[in-house]
Chain A
Amino acid sequence: MTRRSYAIIGTVWVAAAAIAVFGTLQRRAVAPGTLDALESLDARGRAPASFEGTDSLPSALQGVSVEAVHDGWEGPGGRPFLVVSRTAEGSNPRVRTIGRETYPLTLRLDGAPVVGDCASCHEGQQSAGARLDAADAIHQNIQPVHPSRAETECAGCHVEGRVDRLRGDRGQETTFTHAYELCAQCHFNPVESWAKGAHGKRLVAWRGDRVVFGCAECHDPHRPATEPRAPYAGPSLPESLHSEEHGDSHGEAGTTGAAEHGGRP
């Protein structure tokens, strides 16, 4: 046999193997029935049967919208998991859902209704090199400091002419709810921790299907760092329940009562 035929056989074999592996990955990505279960979770606001033991959703998940099934990513033990987004009715006021997509509410003038989806203004527009500045009335709530103020360009992540879609550095397009794919381009360690469960958190239940929020549910993609704020100060007791002997001990921010219960911190 000639060297040429060896090469042909080798190429065919590699291609077949690649197809087989790709098919396996595709099948593993979504467990049977999982998507149906999530659809019912969205529609009725209740946990589907697969979330055994939970008869109502935790407050963090009220108004949750199922936007994405994690495709080709694996959680701990190689299990697939599910990514959900919050809707306008949810506890995160920064996003709302239009149809099946979520949009940051930063696209909104203070006190004014939501402008609409991005395409109503940006459809077909060429915005190469466009940046935001403080004088931009429509996008005034967006403070693009990420990845850095000097480098941030809309087209770095948004698809030109269709800014409600995102484009990764290899040209792959995706939606806002799959934004973690873009985050993972640089922040591979945090995203690995997120996929495996060490960062971000498991929603709904500790057993059953694993459901998590995507990166942009907690981090503002234009300004991802956590803003400092005051900590929870302690329970507030209605005046009627204040007794005289408790009046003095109550009111200090976050004390545990440890000092009086043994004198240790």
Chain B
Amino acid sequence: MTRRDLTFDDVLKAAGAYEIQDRLERLSPEPASTGCGCGSSGGCGSSGGQTLLDKPLDRRRAIGTLFGALAVTTQAMGACAPGPDSAEEREAKRLAQEEYFKGNYRVMTEAERADTVRRLERLAELRGQGDVSIRTDQAVPGALYGYAFNISKCEGFRNCVDACIHENNLDRASDQQYIRIFEIEEGSSIDALDHGDATYGHSVPAEGHFYLGTQCFQCANPPCVYVCPVQATWQEPDGIVVVDYDWCIGCRYCMAACPYWARRFNWDEPTVPAEEVNPRQHYLGNRARKSGVVEKCTFCIQRTREGRQPACAEACPTGARVFGNLLDPDSEIRWVLENKQVFRLKEDLGTEPRFWYFMD
């Protein structure tokens, strides 16, 4: 046959995929207990190939099937001569492999989202992260979140940072933090942000200084989203800019594009002590990240979509943080914007942050 005549089906046949798939299906309910997979239940026939053809087969799924089938066959062979892997380890490997071939969150169907959530929750359990629950709540209708930060009130205690780390399961090993509180000398301009001290350790508030906190501003015109080459980050209808951690390729273009240094990169797999893992998670929020992907503040999407306040606003001991719905004319955030003198950082860039600073 000529190259042109070669179909994808031929490729699969040549690779023995149907046979492997057939074995896989016989094995899959109880891979640990079947002994040598092709034994008792009627030979390694070719009927299973038809089963595979009945399903809609795209490239991604076919490759996934190939790899999965190879992996399981290897495991089945290992089962004949028992290897070191326990049933749980094999399950974790299988789930991780299925996770690897899933799609971008935005093009998943409801069923696919439910599947991946089930896999991720089970993986967290297998990996000793406890009984986590991962939600995929959509944006609250009629909500557009805004944030205001009172630089007259902030005293630099960093309770917000503490709350953020624990709420969002941030990496403890590298001291990952979404929020930075800058100590700035009174009388200096806001350009002092370039020279402000975000690493102070002395007793606060320090005489003659004020404090200004930054985090992701959820810009209405987000440069980080435009530069992503794989559409792994986008803005949700409620204004929150999110990252699909499983679609991010770790190129860090978004970090270069953000004028506020709001994004963070995981050089290693984040380390969180098992007893400190926050089990209330959102797929686009505080679920477990992996090495080599970018993450960021999401206004605590797992909390705000339930109606709760972001952890930083809840933890602030001075009441310097105001969070609310910009579309509600009776909200506190709207009162602040209409009655206080407010400014935003680097307004001239046109990023339109939904994060304002104000003074008493």
Contacts and interface: CB of A to CB of B under 8 A. Distances in A.
- Answer whether A and B are interacting partners: yes
Contacts of B334: 76
Nearest to B316: A201
Interface in B308-338: 308-309, 313-319, 321-325, 328-336
B127 interface: no
A208 to B, nearest CB: 7
Interface stretch (B44-52, B87-95, B169-177): B169-177
B325 A231 contact: no
A4 interface: no
B162 interface: yes
Interface string B162-196: 10010000101111110011100000000001111
Contacts of A198: 148, 150, 322, 332, 335-336, 339-340, 358, 360
A36 interface: no
Given A54-B306, A198-B358, A206-B325, A253 B201 contact: yes
A229 to B, nearest CB: 6
Interface stretch (B27-35, B152-160, B243-251): B152-160
Contact of B172 (A52, A193, A235): A235
B313 A201 contact: yes
Interface stretch (A104-112, A133-141, A157-165, A238-246): A238-246
Contact of A256 (B177, B193, B203, B322): B177
Interface string A237-261: 1100111001001101111111001
Contacts of A190: 360
A265 B195 contact: yes
B73 interface: no
A258 B261 contact: yes
A54 B189 CA distance: 41
A64 to B, nearest CB: 13
Nearest to A264: B261
A212 B345 CA distance: 29
Given A196-B339, A198-B336, A199-B150, A250 B175 contact: yes
B41 interface: no
Contacts of A25: none
Given A201-B321, A238-B273, A265-B195, A51 B307 contact: yes
A contact patch SS = loop
A54 B332 CA distance: 19
A96 B30 CA distance: 59
Contacts of B140: 207
B161 interface: yes
A226 B307 contact: no
Interface residues of A, number: 58
B198 A258 contact: yes
- Interface size band for B: 35 or more
A171 interface: no
Contact of A265 (B182, B203, B331): B182
Nearest to B276: A235
B199 interface: yes
Contacts of A90: none
A257 B176 contact: yes
B298 to A, nearest CB: 15
When A and B form their complex, which 3 residue pairs have the shortest distance between CB atoms, in order from nearest?
A77-B330, A197-B332, A53-B307
Interface of B: 140, 143, 148, 150, 153, 155-159, 161-162, 165, 170, 172-177, 180-182, 193-205, 255, 261, 264-265, 268, 271, 273, 304, 306-309, 313-319, 321-325, 328-336, 339-340, 358, 360
Interface of A: 51-54, 58, 60, 75-79, 189-190, 193, 196-208, 210, 218, 226, 228-238, 241-243, 246, 249-250, 252-258, 261-262, 264-265
Given A197-B324, A253-B199, 8 more contacts: A53-B306, A196-B335, A198-B360, A230-B204, A246-B271, A250-B175, A257-B174, A265-B261
18 contacts: A75-B330, A78-B330, A196-B339, A200-B319, A201-B313, A202-B332, A204-B308, A206-B309, A206-B324, A206-B325, A230-B201, A230-B202, A234-B175, A246-B268, A254-B158, A256-B175, A262-B255, A265-B182
